Amino acid sequence: MYSGSSDGESHEAAQRKIPPASSMMWVRNLRRFIGSGAGLGSEALMELETKRILLDIFKEKQQKSAEAGTIPSFYKKACKPEEGSISHRVQRLAKYRFLKKQSDLLLNADDLDAMWVCLRENCVIDDATGAEKMNYEDFCHIASVCTEQIGPKCRRFFSPSNFMKFEKDESGRIAILPFYLYVMRTVSLTQARIDMSELDEDSDGFLQPHEMEAYIRGLIPNLAQLRDMPAAFVQMYCRIAAHKFFFFCDPNRRGKACIKKVLLSNCLQELMELHQESEEEVTDTEQAENWFSLTSAQRICDMFLALDKDMNGTLSKHELREYAEGTLTEIFIERVFDEHVRRGKSSGGNSREMDFESFLDFVLALENKDTPEGLTYLFRCLDLQGRGFLTTADIHSLFRDVHQKWIEGGNYELCIEDVRDEIWDMVKPADELRITLADLLACKQGGTVASMLIDVRGFWAHDNRENLLQEEEEPEEEG
């Protein structure tokens, strides 16, 4: 026992006598040698230098962060003033005064009539064409006369740059009618922008659906062809009319349309065509083709109600197949529901139903197949695999249903491969193996191609295009 205890104590004493590594001379010399970098290769030196630089950068950033306290904010969302607050009232008052000032600078109907009289009294008649024209001297003289009679607010239309915008004859004269129409259109668009800005509640330059509907509702009393609209139909009309603006001016479906884009769109021009007073000036065909006419709006409502057999306010795939007398293919109807109809709460999660808003998109796309917006809608349905392009297999699959309806209609037998080759010749895609949306837009026949692939009636119209063209020309010759 004694001897064992002595051995253990001697062993512990020996361990305590071993000095730490840091106190050994050879260790200190080795660390000093490595620290100087004298014994390292070029790669090790580079790594050591990189590590030192990164460490200095890290320490510098840490020091700056400690001094700054917090990371500065580069974007601060504008806080909307609370409804009824003083800042909200001041903002609305400033906006009202600004728009009122801009409105006061516009020419009214009497001013435009006075300008037209001045133009006609101070122009010259072209001997060759009988058109009323003016040269630059006449232009400046008319500007002075109009300023005296109307006021300085008309002066901006008589600038040299405006005169140079119009086509001139060999004598340097411009026709007064195009100039007057330019003034009228400028005044009309400016007034429309002021009216839309008044309805833009958050002043962000965009209109939401209810704001667009309010704008259209305010126009109805001033549009000759809409004055007799039944009061019960006004709300539905505004909903239908506003939807076209969003279909063309809100391609990303954000739920708001840019005011500038609305002003420059053909939709506003089409709506303003309803100013025509005389019913004789507008044929039934033109009324039906104008989306904003009362006839067109009623037609769309009647169409939806006729398709909605179970009267639940939405359309199923089976009900939509009856659209256009059932000439649309089943695969196209399926793809419409896949791409453009969201699964609603009322559908129970099993099937999709098309609501009225989606139906309006559907009708607008089919009636505007040649536009980029309409063709984009249809291309998503044609793109069976969602790859962004169509292959020969896709064309074959799409046209197979058209071919079946074609044969069921008692028409002659045709070869699907021949139709596929004809479509390729019509489009002339950049890549010979695939057709993209850009190819359909570039070939200017995208609407025709889409009709051939989704509607047997559209294919029939293409197949009989020469006979249809001849029938259209014959009445013109007789007249």
CA distance 304 to 297: 11
What would the pLDDT profile of 446-464 be if each residue is shown by its tens digit? 999 999 999 999 999 998 8
Number of C-beta neighbours around residue 91 at 10 A: 14
Residue 334 CA to residue 314 CA, distance in Å, equals 16
* Mean pLDDT across 192-220: 93
Rounded Cα distance, 351 and 92, in Å: 46
pLDDT band for position 20 (cuts 50, 70, 90)? low
Q: What is the mean pLDDT of residues 58-86?
A: 74
Q: Can you tell me the distance from the alpha carbon of 36 to that of 45, in angstroms, rounded to the nearest whole number? A: 10
Say what the pLDDT of residue 90 is: 87
Confidence (pLDDT) at 116: 95
Residues 6+ apart with CB under 8 A from 11: none
In the predicted model, is pLDDT for residue 221 greater than 60?
A: yes
Supply the pLDDT for residue 4. 46
Question: Is residue 13 pLDDT above 70, yes or no?
Answer: no
pLDDT at 53: 87
Q: Bridge-partner residues for 207, per DSSP?
A: 257
Q: Between residues 468 and 194, which one has the greater pLDDT?
A: 194
Q: What percent of the chain has pLDDT above 90? A: 65
Give the count of beta carbons closer than 10 Å to the beta carbon of residue 457.
17
For the whole model, what pTM was predicted?
0.76
* Cβ atoms < 10 Å from Cβ of 236: 15
How far does Cα 13 stand from its chain's mean position? Answer: 88
Q: Please state, in angstroms and rounded to a whole number, the distance separating the CA atoms of residues 372 and 365.
A: 10
- In this structure, how many other beta carbons lie within 10 angstroms of the beta carbon of residue 39? 9
| pLDDT the model gives residue 101 | 92
The pLDDT-based confidence of 43 (bands split at 50, 70, 90) is: confident
Q: Which segment of 156-165, 321-330, 340-349, 379-388 scores lowest on mean pLDDT?
A: 340-349
When pLDDT is averaged across residues 198-209 and rounded to a whole number, the result is: 91
pLDDT for position 2: 42
Q: Is the pLDDT of residue 472 over 90?
A: no
Mean pLDDT across 81-92: 82
Q: Highest-confidence range of 71-80, 203-212, 347-356, by mean pLDDT?
A: 203-212
* pLDDT attached to residue 40: 58
- Report whether pLDDT(193) > 80: yes
What mean pLDDT comes out for the span 295-301? Answer: 95
How confident is the model over 110-130, as a mean pLDDT?
Answer: 91
In tens, the pLDDT along 359-411 reads 999 999 999 999 999 999 999 999 999 999 999 999 999 999 999 999 998 88
* pLDDT score, position 37: 55
Is 212 a residue whose pLDDT tops 80?
yes
More confident position, 335 or 22: 335
| Cβ contact 267:249 at 8 Å | yes
Which of the four pLDDT bands, split at 50, 70 and 90, describes residue 3? very low
- The region of weakest confidence among 169-173, 226-230, 473-477 is 473-477
Average pLDDT for the chain: 86
Q: Is the pLDDT score of 471 beyond 90?
A: no
* pLDDT at 88 exceeding the cut of 70: yes
Residue 73: per-residue pLDDT: 67
Q: What pLDDT score was predicted for residue 414?
A: 87
pLDDT greater at residue 405 or residue 81? 405
What pLDDT score does 412 carry?
87
pLDDT band (50, 70, 90) for residue 110: very high
* Range of weakest confidence among 43-47, 215-219, 304-308: 43-47
Residue 1 — pLDDT band, cuts 50, 70, 90? very low
